[in-house]
Amino acid sequence: MQPTQHYPEPTVGALIFDPASRLLLMRSHKWAGKYVVPGGHVELGETLAAALRREVAEETGLTIYGITFVGMQEFIYDPAFWQPRHFIFFDYACRTNATEVHLNDEAQEYVWATVDEALRLPIEPYTEVAIRTYLARQAGR
């Protein structure tokens, strides 16, 4: 399949922690049934933080706060995704006061897990990198 993109697509991803410091993960058919974090594309004229808030609200119904940058990853036609795409991932950590999640059609189920539990689940590789980068930054504080 020929890619339809003309440029890489900037996207945002949210490591969302609840009041008990558990991480939200969603199982997605777009990622071969593996667990991912909520996120998606940045629209024209939108800041990364605004895109993060919008994507999280669309995919989970959650309101987030305390947004901090975790890292950036390049994704270039990796077969881990259901379509050939070139993404630039901007990963963030944030918090929510809610634990009830309202998924849209991009995810089939969700789980709140400790970071250690999350790393034992079938997560897609870019989510694992984001979690491990977050842990390394937390250890360096």
CATH number for position 34: 3.90.79.10
Q: Is residue 6 part of a domain?
A: no
> How many beta carbons lie within 10 A of that of residue 36, not counting itself?
22
What domain range is 34 assigned to?
16-113+121-139
Assigned domain for 74 exists? yes
Can you give the pLDDT at residue 6?
86
What is the per-residue pLDDT for 79?
83
Asked if 41 contacts 126 with a C-beta cutoff of 8 angstroms, the reply is: no
Query: Which secondary-structure segment (H or E) carries 50?
Result: helix 48-60
Does some domain include residue 11?
Answer: no
* Residue 4, domain member (yes or no): no
- Output the pLDDT for position 70: 98
Residue 55's nearest CA partner among 45, 41, 69 is 41
Q: How many CB atoms lie within 10 A of CB 86?
A: 15
Q: Model pTM?
A: 0.93
The number of folded domains in the chain is: 1
User: Is 78 part of a structural domain of the chain?
Assistant: yes
**Confidence (pLDDT) at 83:** 86
Please give the pLDDT value at position 3.
60
For every one of its 141 residues, what pLDDT tens digit does the chain have, with 9 covering 90 and above?
A: 556 778 999 999 999 999 999 999 999 999 999 999 999 999 999 999 999 999 999 999 999 999 999 999 999 998 888 888 899 999 999 999 998 999 988 888 999 999 999 999 999 999 999 999 999 998 887
